[in-house]
Chain A
């Protein structure tokens, strides 16, 4: 990482004495200024909220609160852990230590996936004649849900157009599940999620790797609580851990992420997978399991976030191999670049930008 020049530090200090602290983590003046503004707004609102509550244990004024926030930020604590939340679509996702912070790339993939589902439904509606006819349940499974951000945003985007939804979020970490449920309640309270979400979104514990490649047990087991479940799902979406142990160490992964975010959500470990498969790359384990799962559950749409273009290519090959093994019919595989704007045509897509691999079963009738 290039050193920050003295001039940049001086310039920052002239503007605000706390700015050089933020510069250590942000590395750019504009970004540091933005973070300072967000932190200051939060400090002010926290202090005013406390004053309104008139709690006696309020020793800090907003200035000292801001200072302590900036100090922890300069140590590399993710901004979202300091502020306690992160906007995701129109939702506000709470963030806590021990659970991965939702990323902007995941947000854009989720938005795009929801757009795809809505398009398909619209087309179907046209072919069937009437839109209101659809009463069938649309089932979505989000594996490795973490904060629950994908599952919740999916519900927020789809609920106005689909009468019946059931969205299941699965994660290994109990901490993540607790936070996901908290997020569900929090966003319903804020009004950014409809009340239906309380009935239609579930979070359950499960290990995607432990079941091996043998069966879709993970889905079946967790679906016992959902009435009329047959172990099938329509849409499978996931942002699994995808960093290789090497990329975790060699500086590709930033210090802040390495130290403060849970390794469980970042690097797949072979030990937890139980059986050993002939995979040349450890970081792709999850895709193997998730894609086989999707064939067993006969998902019509699978959306998987990948770390970079090369990994996406590998995932494409994995899905081709598995499709062959499961003898599934026509399958269309696309790779989405995350940088693209859902509204406009995108700029340049870089090779080390995350992508999404999208599998669509074209043999199954969409209804």
Chain B
């Protein structure tokens, strides 16, 4: 114990940190930390429901094999095992408690029980967390590689310059994490500056990168004194980043849902609905001329989505890439529409479920304060250089957003279950 009782606690804390602080770390601030052990009863009931389904389906699977059922069982297995663990731990806690409350238990057993109880209780939050995560349905594109689209928004030249910096950031991030990436499309704006982006698409070929990078979709805001500013004023500009699923070539044994060639698939595009134009001057072709114009423009007529591609010298390659981007955009749009629909339903039922759309500002990069704040998870990191170099700090931000996304999903799930319960318990009101 301290000999001097009147040292102010703050001074003491400062004194202590002097010793503890060994290496500087980026300062992390979190507005909201989620460490609750509690698992809402509605979530638990959902887990039980799904586990029951798992039991039934696996019994069914023993009789007759069916690919679709097997896949569903595989998905549910995680929930079932997590729930089993949760139940087991809870049971043992109850048991130990009764043992402790029992007056007959001898002291040796009692000390063992206390020890056991402590470990079990320590374990409980992680198990609850596991269960929660297992309950969150996997994103349908989670296993896919992705396309990353960067486009400057409001802010003119400055937005273009920052878009280029974001492009560099993501490429550096990919190379640090060992993802193969290549630039599919790079368009710079008119003018002498080389690094003013007007659009870029990066293909990240590693499987599962969609899930890793999907935290990045949204509007990224930059606050700084631009290079083009003469009076030293801080400007705010925006760059929009989109992460799209990249569908593999056909015939690679993908499962049915993601096979875009199958007319029954959700991601099928009817070729009749796509207008393809060669952007080429008229006049004779073939042997008569040797045009190097290889640009292709595809227009999806029902949605009006336009993809133009001119990076490669080969028309064939441009067309292939344009189709890949068109497919990705449409798939994302369709998935988005589905999510919107879900949100609408939820909101209609209980109101006030937040969802971050593509048009929302997700992150701010402030050069003056050398900080980066993500508006979803509320994390702030004061090490902008490391983030723009695609370093560990970017990982930290993305990780925080990912857990935020999971929290959101869980909250939505819980709310949904609640609504279901209410519907069952209260008979429909009569007018």
Q: Which residues of A from 6 to 32 have beta carbons under 8 Å from B?
A: 11, 14-16, 26-28, 30-31
B272 within 8 A of A: yes
Chain A residue with the shortest CB-CB distance to B191:
A15
Partner of B276 from the list A87, A111, A243, A347 (CB cut-off 8 Å) is A347
Name the B residues within 8 Å of A256 (CB-CB).
289-290
What are the 6 A-B residue pairs with the smallest beta carbon separation, nearest first?
A354-B286, A87-B314, A341-B276, A344-B274, A344-B276, A254-B289
Nearest residue in B to A247 (C-beta to C-beta)? B288
Contact between chains at B287 and A257 (CB < 8 Å): yes
Q: Counting CB contacts under 8 A, is A232 at the interface?
A: no
Q: Which of A14, A338, A347 contacts B275 (CB 8 A)?
A: A347
Tell me the bound Cα distance from A354 to B287 in angstroms: 9
In the complex, A336 has a CB within 8 A of chain B = no
Task: Check if B317 sits within 8 Å of A14, measured CB to CB.
Answer: no
CA distance A246 to B284 in the complex (A): 14
Between A and B, 18 residue pairs with Cβ closer than 8 Å are A30-B295, A31-B293, A34-B293, A34-B294, A80-B290, A87-B316, A88-B314, A104-B315, A105-B286, A108-B316, A242-B287, A252-B284, A338-B286, A345-B275, A346-B276, A347-B275, A347-B276, A352-B282
Chain B contacts of A79 at CB under 8 A? 290, 292, 313
Q: Quick check: is A234 within 8 A (CB to CB) of the other chain?
A: no
Q: Given contacts A27-B281, A307-B286, could you give 14 more A-B pairs where the C-beta distance is less than 8 Å?
A: A11-B190, A28-B281, A34-B310, A35-B292, A90-B316, A101-B290, A103-B287, A104-B291, A105-B285, A106-B286, A107-B314, A266-B287, A307-B288, A345-B272
Complex-state Cα separation, A350 to B284, whole angstroms: 9
Residues from chain B with a CB closer than 8 A to the CB of A239 are 287
Q: How large is the interface on A (under 10, 10 to 19, 20 to 34, 35 or more residues)?
A: 35 or more
Interface of B (DSSP majority class)? loop
CB contacts under 8 Å to A, within B267-282, are: 271-272, 274-278, 281-282
Task: Quote the shortest CB–CB distance from B246 to chain A (angstroms).
Answer: 17
B290 CB contacts on chain A under 8 angstroms: 78-80, 101, 103, 254, 256-257, 261
A124 contacts the other chain (CB 8 A):
no
Which of B271, B276, B315 is A107 in contact with, Cβ under 8 Å? B315
* Number of B interface residues in the complex (CB < 8 A): 35
Within 8 A of B (CB), among A145-177: none
Indicate whether A89 reaches chain B with its CB closer than 8 angstroms: yes
Q: Which residues of B contact A326 (CB under 8 A)?
A: none
Residue ranges of A at the interface with B (Cβ–Cβ < 8 Å): 11, 14-16, 26-28, 30-31, 34-35, 38, 78-80, 86-90, 100-101, 103-108, 111, 239, 241-243, 247, 252-254, 256-257, 261, 265-266, 305, 307-308, 338-341, 343-347, 350, 352-354
Is B17 interfacial (CB-CB < 8 Å)? Answer: no
A101 to B313, CA, bound (A): 13
- The residues in B between 370 and 417 inclusive whose CB is less than 8 angstroms from any CB of A are none
At the interface, yes or no: B253 with Cβ under 8 Å from chain A?
A: no
Question: What is the chain A residue whose CB lies nearest that of B282?
Answer: A350
The CA-CA distance from A106 to B285 in the complex, in Å, is 11
Cβ-defined contact, A343 with B191, below 8 A: no
In the assembly, what is the distance between CA of A257 and CA of B287, in Å?
8
| CA distance in complex: A177, B190 (Å) | 44
Given A34-B310, A87-B312, A15 and B284 touching (CB < 8 A)?
no
Contact digits for B289-328, partner A, Cβ 8 Å, 1 yes 0 no: 1111111001000000000001011111101000100000
| Least distance between A356 CB and chain B CB atoms (Å) | 10
- Hey, which chain B residues are within 8 Å of A30, CB to CB? 295, 310
From known contacts A28-B281, A103-B286, infer whether A343 and B292 are also in contact, taking CB-CB under 8 Å: no
Question: Does B283 reach chain A (CB closer than 8 Å)?
Answer: yes
B228 is an interface residue with CB less than 8 A from chain A = no
Residues of A within 8 A of B276 (CB): 340-341, 343-347
Most central of B294, B312, B313 by chain A CB within 10 Å: B313
